[in-house]
Amino acid sequence: MKIAVHPRVVKYINGSGDKERIVEHLKALEDDPFTNRSGADIKKLSGKERDMFRLRIGDHRFEYFVDDDTVWIDEAFRRGRGYR
């Protein structure tokens, strides 16, 4: 699988201060975007128009979906902001 990252997510990652750690966990989604692993909690979200997943890395949250052979990372935010 390959990973596609929305430009607003790239901006968030660059300004986060945890860039190396975040990029490492996002790259791990290429191998398996559905299973939890150490330091990265994955949960399927309900109430969305497509099957969306949430990746939790510390205080950072990333929403993504899988389409064919691509993981599309669509949203990024800190823990306190919540989900839309």
Q: Where are the domains of the chain?
A: 2-81
Q: Which amino acid is at 66?
A: V
pTM: 0.87
Instruction: Report d(CA 3, CA 15) in Å as an integer.
Output: 20
Phi, psi of 51 (to 5 degrees): -70, 100
Nearest Cα neighbor of 45 from 65, 27, 31, 30 is 65
Instruction: Report d(CA 65, CA 21) in Å as an integer.
Output: 21
Q: 16-45: per-residue pLDDT in tens?
A: 888 999 999 999 999 989 888 887 899 999
What pLDDT is stored for residue 52 in this prediction?
A: 93
As a whole number, the mean pLDDT across the chain is: 89
| Superfamily in which the 2-81 domain is placed by CATH | RelE-like (3.30.2310.20)
The mean pLDDT of 49-78, rounded to a whole number, is 92
What pLDDT is stored for residue 13 in this prediction?
A: 94
